[in-house]
Structure 1
Amino acid sequence: MARVFNPKRSIFVPATGGHPKNAEYRIAWGAERWNSLVNVTKVQMVYNGTVAGMLSPSFPDETLDQQAVIFALHLLSDKKYGINSKDIKDVLVLNKVTNQLDVNTLLDSLEKEIEEMTIDIYDSKKNPLSVIVDIKLQEQFKLEDSVNAFLFRVHIVPVK
């Protein structure tokens, strides 16, 4: 089967709730072959680093997952957000921040979770691959109700 969607920019959102371990939403903008090439935006489920193309994404109503996907769609509409690379990905995480002084502790915790998930995904492959993960906070956004969005740039370096 021919590949019909060619992502140009993507943002990944770790899925919580009832999703299995290492589940993510991929919010992507790119070209899709219809009768001709058409620019489209897609939300897809990703399990252990593999896009589940035939599986429709779902997220519980009124959750941070839903809010994060909607915000990622907004960020993709601004052409400066999102990336398409096999070695680099943008990861968006939403979290409630009640005390701004706790943000550094929260950032350390979020970076550790993203690192562990990334390493676990590469370890779960049929041909496991050891990787070094370098994570940098790209931008922090204040949303409503003490919710902050954190956009991380994740560099994945295979270890030989």
Structure 2
Amino acid sequence: MRRIISFKTIRYRLQAKIVLLKNSKGKKDRIVPLSPKILQMLREYYILYKPKTFLFEGQIKGNPYDARSLQVILKQAIAKVKIKKPVTLHWLRHSFATHLLESGTDLRYIQELLGHNSSKKTEIYTHVSTKSIQQIKSPFDDL
């Protein structure tokens, strides 16, 4: 059953700089931070395309954008910038988490954003990022 969200609620969320993702991975609702840069891009997109039901609609107005279409667009973008590694939409989720970790976001917040029930799942990102480790000051430096 689809819930209707009032425009008052949407305005509040935009002012709070958060986005509500409904039925995301694991069929869970999540909130994520909204970058002012992304907000500006979304406003321009909205003016240009004037979506009716979903923000990102498919070729048929009122229908959501198809996941397969997103995969095709990602593959085209990856080919355009000549990245040879295999890339998936899920890879973007890992990149998001890794960048948050490298910028100093607490692992507990990342766990909440990703919707992990266990901190063990989130801890896989700690071995990916070495940038944070390089910034740690050794106690030996004070000797």
Q: TM-score, normalised by structure 1?
A: 0.27
> Looking at both structures, which has the greater relative contact order when contacts are Cα pairs under 8 Å and sequence separation is at least 6?
1
Q: TM-score, normalised by structure 2?
A: 0.29
Identify, as 1 or 2, the structure richer in strand.
1
Identify, as 1 or 2, the structure richer in helix.
2
Which structure is larger by alpha-carbon Rg, 1 or 2? 2
